[in-house]
Structure 1
Amino acid sequence: MSGPFISIVMPAFRCRDTIAESVQSAIKQTYARWELVISIDDGEDYELLLADAGLKDQRIRFTHTGGVGTGSSNARNVGVAAAQSDFIAVLDADDLFISEKLELIAPLLATHPLISTGLQITDANLAPLRQVGTKGAQRELGADIYKFINISMDSMIIYDRSRLPIAYDVNQPCLVDMDLIFKAFCHTAKCLHIPAPLHLYRKQAVSISNGPAAADKFAHIKRTLLSRLETNHYDFVDSAAARKGFETFLRASLKTELAFAAQSAKSSSFLFEDLLEAHLKKERIFER
């Protein structure tokens, strides 16, 4: 099989219960030219754990952050630094790739340095909850509309680091994927979007994005990102359109955060994406 070699980067921190499923989703790819770089951030012997689960593959490599709990941003940066390809795909140790993901994306990487796909959001047991970014046809998204299509997390991307020299912010405790997307649009005006749910995003009951005080943490970081946008921290290729689009989205998302905190306190069945989508539609700023 010809085509570009792709490096999948997986940060690993306290993921003994989920990493085997995530790694298996890489092994099951119908596209064979990949490596999986597992960046260990908790001192666990994941090579032994995966071997005990029958998951041994010469394409799997391991690297270490040199610490414990140094953060997902640092673990991802360490994984990217160890990668043998410039084409970087991100796979968290509790998420999964659909088996055709790399095969569908590989032919497009030569002409598109940034590619996003739709998401299938699931619960902790991988039961489907909803999809994001799966409407319409395959198309290029400018920075002004990117977040109105990809309203959830942004770790479903594949990018070319030779054309997009970007890194995760090690000082940011959450929403690091959004900051990375902002940085990407400083080097490209477009992201090719594939509206198929090729990435399974597992919502854990308690994680960096759920659980006590999560809303306050997210609100703080969203205000920080807004401040960066307002002070021209990011040197976007399409400056005016990017700032307007990202600022509009972040303000809507910040407003939704407050409502979500109140609703989720009453019931855990609410999804932030559902509430955000409803708000965007109400304000007539959804699906541009």
Structure 2
Amino acid sequence: MPTISVIIPTYNSEKTIKATIESVIKQTFSDWELIIINDGSQDSTLDIALQVKDSRIKVFSFNNAGLSASRNRGLKCAVGEFISFLDADDIWISDKLEIQLKALQENPQAAVAYSWTDYIDENGKFAFSGSYINVNGDVYQHLLMSDFLENGSNPLIRKEAFTVLAGFDETLRAAEDWDMWLRLANKFDFVCVPSVQILYRVTPNSLSSNVINQEKFCLEVLRRGYQERPPSLKYSWNISLAKLYRYLTCKALQKPFTRQKSLASAKFLCNYLWNESLILQYITFKLFTTYYDKLRMKF
């Protein structure tokens, strides 16, 4: 039985799927199985995946059902003690599995190990760096502020953690990763591997480029998260919204430019500035009242 099950959901990924599979084969940790879920691809994705000869690779084909459904299908096939998902256009650094597994073995109280991400373009060249956030243990409040794992190709997760969760939410058409990380963080500790191990490919036609869907489902995930465990910081909702709309503004300004994205970027920028102003007002008010109380006690 393999130690780690790697799950690649793929749909029309003929340009990148081979490089993604090769990044798994090149891992320094070799006791894995690779489960490729072909989600009704209409190009040569399936043919390319089947051409890779390795006894550890299993390929399954289904009718198109979306990313979350494909990941859930992969979970049902997985037999490893640990699970890691890899999107079909992303790449792992060769020691990703080895170091994340070591982190979980050294921290038995944690169920999720995550690393840092850099971003690459369509040609695999470096585009920009990720957030490089390093938090450990109960990270729920940090995740409410932003999805610092940044993508679904990041964490290594103990499979037993999924037994208390209902899998990925198939009603979400975006932000399904963030939703899963929040549900995991509500029950389990996380441990950070402070090293870049995921190369996330930025492409104009990726699911994350649909900024309207991103806004809708990110807001839904945030509302759920705050209902599940409200934070103690009174203006944390505004911090979450400010960070979300700053991210969405940047996404909307990425190429290719369209009229819809231009209008969306203006809306997102206004929401970002509004929430930033509310945070500043609240902090100013707290500082003023604290100073006033101290001054009154003095006299």
Interval containing the TM-score (normalised by the shorter chain): 0.7 to 0.9
Bigger radius of gyration among the two: 2
CA distance in 1 between partners of 2:238 and 2:169 (Å): 22
One-letter amino acid of the structure 2 residue matched with residue 221 of structure 1: F
Task: Choose between structure 1 and 2: higher helix proportion.
Answer: 2
- The reply on whether 1:142 has 2:132 as its aligned counterpart is no
One-letter amino acid of the structure 1 residue matched with residue 200 of structure 2: Y
- Give the 3 Å change call, closer, same or farther, for CA 28–259 of structure 1 in structure 2: closer
One-letter amino acid of the structure 1 residue matched with residue 66 of structure 2: G
Question: Alignment RMSD, CA only?
Answer: 3.4
In the other structure, the counterpart of 1:75 is 70
Matches within 5 A, 1:158-197: 158-165=156-163, 166=165, 167-188=167-188, 190-197=189-196
Equivalenced residue count is 260
Helix, strand or coil: the match of 1:209?
A: helix
CA distance in 2 between partners of 1:12 and 1:47 (Å): 9
| 2:100 aligned to which of 100, 105, 108 | 105
CA distance in 1 between partners of 2:101 and 2:235 (Å): 29
One-letter amino acid of the structure 2 residue matched with residue 181 of structure 1: W
| 1:10 aligned to which of 8, 11, 15 | 8
Helix, strand or coil: the match of 1:10?
A: strand
In the other structure, the counterpart of 1:61 is 58
Gaps of 5+ in 2: 259-264, 281-299
Aligned identity (percent) is 23
| 1:228 aligned to which of 196, 218, 224 | 224
- The reply on whether 1:88 has 2:93 as its aligned counterpart is no
CA distance in 2 between partners of 1:267 and 1:22 (Å): 28
| 1:123 aligned to which of 101, 121, 124 | 121
In the other structure, the counterpart of 2:200 is 201
Q: How far 1:50 sits from its partner (Å)?
A: 3.4
Q: How far 1:240 sits from its partner (Å)?
A: 4.0
Q: How far 1:6 sits from its partner (Å)?
A: 0.4
Helix, strand or coil: the match of 2:119?
A: strand
Q: How far 1:27 sits from its partner (Å)?
A: 0.2
Gaps of 5+ in 1: none
- Give the 3 Å change call, closer, same or farther, for CA 243–46 of structure 1 in structure 2: farther
Q: How far 1:114 sits from its partner (Å)?
A: 0.7
Preserved CA contact (<8 Å) 1:31 1:102: yes
Q: How far 1:18 sits from its partner (Å)?
A: 0.6
CA distance in 2 between partners of 1:264 and 1:251 (Å): 20
CA distance in 1 between partners of 2:190 and 2:235 (Å): 14
Q: Which digits, 9 at most, give the CA deviation of each residue in 1:26-78, with x for residues without a partner?
A: 000011111110011115675642354xx2111101123x312x100000100
Q: TM-score, normalised on structure 1?
A: 0.78
